[in-house]
Structure 1
């Protein structure tokens, strides 16, 4: 946002739009997502709405402007970084001690910012689940020449923690996501993970669950047993999906339920009690968490708040407090939104304008934002 050549700061954003005016289904999905984003407000671990252009909506034209996450979706990022992944889990499934990490010469390489190219790409969900996203486009900036940067177990834990925080915020707003998967988690600067793609999200007003009507394509491999059998969705069915997401993260982006590509076969196996094994790269406590997320009775599954606390117990307090501080501006934006008048500037638009005075100073100094930099204070100190 902003004009190049002017004194205003130019901010890169993502713009979602319907590819074809005749695609009524895609338009309805985008409108639904816009409504959810407006309702949600702002949170560090959720892709936040910056604005929308609805002037030509009667002609089938709608632009939804959201935060830009330049590292793309988590699934693709994990796949692209398998070759240089640093495993910090020992043969017994325990996290290595600091001495063991140092003896393995683990260190983060510092990458420089690379000039970006503006391009338009289609937002097509990988068909691993048998689901296609609404046909839409996003105007973004991709770093096609980005240098490879190592990621480690610490990063996987960090992203797992952040997704739990983002989903816990959705629960506090009584919103169920309905399509939580690695492909729908976006990665921004400073190692921040954001829950995205709310095309299937629903607001739970007076009921604690929603019944899915119709026979639209569904993300079968990520769906809870009650969603598969009875088409009931709730925050606890999102918890089941979170367990599958954890499996994706610690298998570095592999497809869940390998070898089971037929939906009805998978459903029967899950009903019989089949569950996936813990990925080799996952610490033991994440294996236990996955098993808890996949319990048949939704009431026996942990809440997102509980999963957040469990992961937090295995992270340094300095790291978790750092993330809480990062989210403080978003909390303030929500408070301002509650008290704003129609003529007031509030939300992320106001935040971007306030940051414009400091952005030029930041651009003038070298950035050592190794991706991600906030996953562990110990590692940052060892750079």
Structure 2
């Protein structure tokens, strides 16, 4: 969904929906969630009632877990007040295979998103203007849109076959507002073909759309939070929390790969790839670049940032409280991060009790006095946030020091992390 900014940036927010009322995006679904045991690591924060909590000791079974192939249907909706100027095939190509490719790289091949686009437009019963689409959509209008969309498509789509539902509106209809693209989470599921539909991605993007917009929205389907900051008056900078460094912060980021914390939450990193740094440190470890996948790309050579096994250590964690932690990961120009502004070890704070949209993750700037990549970065003050080889950085307020010693012959990063009150040796 577009923001009122001169530079194009992320345009999305999640919402919680019921037929009669809607709960704010930063609230949690009131229906009880089912917990499935997940990470047993001592540095895995506990999942809380916060909407899209960053806790990962259990998986919220109300969401599909992307550790297997999932099927997504794309339903294309036209309206009586406009004749479509694009085809379903053209709109499909706007999003796929780019969305599937992003997740394949981010998951190291552990997750496949299979798109099943419908081939024809399905006519809605009312004009596009009747639904009053906008970012903060009126619950009654949104409910009417979803009821009508499901009603007209149910006879042509077997919803029981799909894990993810995309309702894609004709981008040229007069009432379609690209600012309204979002995931709608249902307190009371819709019912079709003997299956419950608990969430729907409503797509109102222009043609061509914002880069990776559907990947961002699909991230919400997997219980990932919004990481951007929405100014109270809608004006100002939206990207102050994480800058370019995660898709859930900005789909326009130079390094939009998902944080290692998110990959751990989604089941794409094993516990053995996460190092819990004890308070009795210091700890010396080797961090492999986050985007390095299993196997070595044909273009990579020993010493290049693309070189790596993809099976090494990806994340180091220092617990700072019952619901908080510091995370350390290496970001190199590989995988989804090939356009990154700077390479090095990125430090960020994680809170499992902070709801989506309130800063559950915040990048710590290792170079607060400088900015970088003005032409491409969504937030230049954080574009050079990583700690680079030869640098030592003490995290403000935590007295935890990270020192990046060097790069290994395989392109990984040798790192020393010293918790509070421990001598750095």
TM-score of the pair, normalised by structure 1:
0.28
Which structure dedicates a bigger proportion of its chain to helix? 1
Q: Which has the higher contact order (CA 8 A, sep 6+)?
A: 1
Which structure dedicates a bigger proportion of its chain to strand? 2
